[in-house]
Each structure stands twice: as structure tokens, then as C-alpha cells.
Structure 1
Amino acid sequence: MADDLLSQLKQMTTVVADTGDLEAIRRFQPTDATTNPSLILQATQQEERRVRLAEVARQATDIDDALDAVAVEIGSEISGLVPGHVSTEVSARLSFDVEGTLARAHSLIERYGRHGVGPERILIKVASTWEGIRAASRLEREGIHTNLTLLFSFTQAQACADAGVTLVSPFVGRILDWHKAHDPEADFSGDQDPGVQSVRRIYEYYKGHGFETVVMGASFRNSGEIKALAGCDRLTISPALLGELADTRGSLERRLVPRDAETQPREPLDEANFRWAMNEDPMATEKLAEGIRKFMDDQRKLEALLGELRKR
């Protein structure tokens, strides 16, 4: 009998758990794990964590300190369950603040160090704004590895590669969401999925030009998108879809394979050209702004919760 699809996927792609749920991580045994404010907020709802998180929050000097302390507390737990990296996000409030992003990144790395987790195990997640990419470039030169999130366009991917970031997270499902909303009658199944097409183009561009930046598809709406990207460097997958893959048997075809260098020329983007290209791409512009707002909405909910815990 054929192996389950998750086992086959792990043979060609590094599987990353898109969750802060420790039980899900134990069950599916991913190589890496990634978190964000939304996932941390979900994790704080688990009753068994409330007492410890309340203690962490009370020891913090302010809400920002509490946010980072809780993120690192959860991230450190996760690091004990995965052999690879844990991604931890800088506040979405700093998405357009280079110096603020650098300061928070340094703080997060120092906190992890106090938990016995070295910088080689951590990816600092930063939104793929122009400012976020500039901050990531400086962090990479310092030896701090970065994960550029909320990536919706080839322009963002180009700028991230030029900046030498460790990893990018193109958001497959959210790209599909935008196109379905704007063209509800179109067929976006299988290889017609614009999110899948976006990741393939980025993957082939990176491999063709010899960039070492890792491509990690994210934000999946269905297992079909995952199967269409089998062979991608990494895929970060929710527990629900990990479970579906683990429970499904059959043959999984590798769809992404490194290819020969592309013929299209490559020119580094300056700020003006980056901003113009983003302005010309309404999907990327709208989804980037929406993504930052959504992360910030959940961060505010988390701030309110931690504020209550600090009072207890």
C-alpha cells in the first residue's frame, strides 16, 4: 500500500507546522514551525497555558515586553519539539519602521538566548514591505536569519533575494482569495491557481539565478495547492491540512524541481522601482496592507488579554 501523502511530501519538501499548538507539532513531527500573532493568540486560549503565560505577563515591564516574552516562551517550547527553525514575528506595528524592527529583532534573539535557544534556530519574521526588507538585509549581515512574510508579488520576491534574506513566505491562499473575489466565475483549480503560479515563478527564478533564499509556500486553502507545490523548498501547513495529508494514501508527484538558469535578465530593484511595481499590482498592495492590519488586529486582542493577565 502507498505511503500517506504527508510522509511522501517530507521526502521532497521540508514540512513546517503553521501553528503554536504543541500537541499538533508532536503528532505531525515537522522539521520547522512558524508562528504569528494570530497563532499565538490561539495558543493563549489553551487552558493549560494560562497559568504560565499569566506569570510571564506579570513579570514583564510593559505590554510590548509581555508580547515578546510570551512569543519567546511559546517559541522556546516549540524549539524543543522540532529539530529545525522556529519563526517568530516582529510586531506588525513596526512594518514601516526599519530601526524599530531592528531593535525588536535584537530583543527577541536576546530573549531566546536566555532560554537556551541560539540564533541559528530562529527566523525573525518581518513583513515584506520596503522597510521590512531593508531591516532584514541588515539583520542578515549581522548573522540573524529572517523570514519575510506577507509576500504576494514577484516584485517583493525579487527585492528579498537581492537583500539576501534567508527565507520568503509567499501566501498562496490569500492570493487565490483575491482573484476569486474579483473574478468569481473563473476556473482557479489545479495549476490555474494564481497562488500556486506565484510560488512556482518565484521558485524557478531563485533556482535559475542561484539565489540561496529559501522559498516556503504558506497560507494554503486546500491540500490541492500543497500537492501542486510538492518539491518546493519548504511548505508551512496548518494542522488541519497536515492531518488530511497524513490520512490520505496515494502517489504524490514532485512538481517543483530546480531548473537551468532563466533567460530573463535580473536587475536589482531600487526603492522607487519597488514602490512603482507594487503600485501597479493591486492584488499585492491590497493583500499586504490587509495582512498587516489583520496581524495587528490579533496583536491588539493579544495585548488586551495579556493586560488582563498582568492584573491577576
Structure 2
Amino acid sequence: MRNVSTALIAGLSVLALVVGCSSTEDGNAVPTPVSANEAPDDFAQVIASSNIDAERYVYPVADGDSDNDQNWVDLFMPKGDHPDGSVPMVILVHGGSWQSQIGADTFVTFARRLAERGLAVYNVEYRRLGSGGGYPQTFADVAAAIDYAPEIGRANPAINMDDAVVVGHSAGGQLAMWAGTRHKLDDDEVGAKPKYRPTSVVSLAGPLDMRTAVRMGDDRIVKALGGEPDEVPERYSSVDPIQNIDPQMPTIAMAGGDDHVVPPVVSRNYVEQAKKDGGDARFILLPDTTHVSIVDPAAPTFTRVLETISRAAHNAHTG
């Protein structure tokens, strides 16, 4: 999906990649966004002409080897003054087979559309295969980005940080489900001991049963994890959503009826197992929807995707 605002992307891509800190009245440092002063005029025009604000933050990674071109998040907020803790939060994780050809810029329109529904949207970029990622780096980056969310919340007190819905498409759906259950990991596993836990997850065409997906011929998973399930079983057991279900984590798995990249059965398998485990899980099959069109703002079913995420976020916010 490339139907994003080219002006906004251009502006975001040229921001000076230097992050400073300001201080609250109690003296605690809070992150400040990357400066937009060096962005072209059309970036400012896009923001000024819309009803949302957008800022970029660079997050630190566990190994200390941050790539400022990839270790960042864009925060989209509805314009205006909002009471503290009043804006529900969505964490957005893009897909692309865990590979570098597709990045978070493809989700700018998606993020804007959600922000227009009164949501704070935290659009995550991370290192991928071909750009310094893969296992375990990609997973460590996503964990670090989510663990940085409370810092962004301190800088933006209007965001309700008590609840957050993490949403991912394709590989991002797997990463989102994994991110929602990192607290179940052993201390020596990648992403363990999370500093911040989302309260619900929405997967959009995610490979939520990775072993079954591999058996069905998905070699993208094999490349991402560095082997088949019988070759690196510990990696699959650590990151495969169906092997790490938390019945206390509400989940929604949406899939396209015409998806031939990640067949709907792998989402259905996850939901069926989660229900057997006593979890709150829903499977939503979207007819006439492909792997790409499920996140295409021009697709007829995209409104339902937005509504599902928005309801999940607002319901979490109201308790």
C-alpha cells in the first residue's frame, strides 16, 4: 500500500534526527520530538491543513546501537487541547514479511485516519531483514519501541497510558500479538520483562500460528526466524503467538477471505485455541478482502477495520 501523503512522508523523512529532553516541574526529563524546523514548507502545510498533529521520536534500543533512520515512532494526535488521560492510544506495527522493502511510511494514511477518530496513534518503525534486522533484532526493536511509550506519554499527558491497543498487519500482526504477551517470556528471552504492556491486541492478517503457516509453504517466516520449526524450535516457541496465548489479553484477529499470502486459517486457529484456553478472542473474516486490501484506505472493508480498532481503543479507555 503506497497511497500515503507524499508531502507528509517527505517532511518526516528529512527531520533532523536529534532528540533532546525537556523537564517537567518535578525535574524529571521527558523526550522531545525530533525538530521539524528543517522540514520543507509542504510538511508544515500538510499538518496545518489537517485536523491532526504529527511528531517523530527516536527510541533507544537495548543493544545501544540505534539506527536513527529506523528506530523511530511517529505520534499522530487529534488537534486541540485535551484533558490529561483523555485520548485513547493505538500502537501501530506495520508488516512486510519482516523485510526492509516495506516500512512504517506505508501506514501514514492509516495512522491519520485513526487519529481523526480521536485516537493517539503510535506508528512504529523497526529494523528488518536487509537493514540490520531479523531475529532477534527486529523483535528487540519492537519491544524497545513499545517500552518507550510511557516516555512519550509523559511528554503528551493527554494520552491515556493506562490502556493501549496494539495493532499489526501481516508480520506486524505477529509482532503485535507477541508484544501483547511478552510478560509470559522467560527472563532470558528476547523482549522479556516488558516495561509497558498493551491491554488488547488486533491482528490484521497476521501469521498467528507460525508453524502451521510454515507447513503451508510460508518461507518468509523461515527467513525471519532463521530456520524451520524443527531447526530452531526455541525461537518459534518464544515468538509464535499461538504458543504464547494469554487468556487475560483480549484479542481480535481479522483476516481477508481472499488472502492467499497469510491464509485465514492461521488466524482462526489462534482464536479457537485462545477460546479453549478461556480467553476473550474474536475472529472476523472480511469477504472479498486480500492480504493487501485489508489495510488499503481505498478498499470497501477498510472502514470496518477502522471501526473495529476504534471501538477496541475507546472501550478499553472507558473500562
* TM tier relative to shorter chain: 0.3 to 0.5
TM-score, scaled to structure 1:
0.39
Question: Quick check: which one's strand share is greater?
Answer: 2
* Structure holding more helix per residue: 1
Larger RCO (CA within 8 A; separation ≥ 6): 1
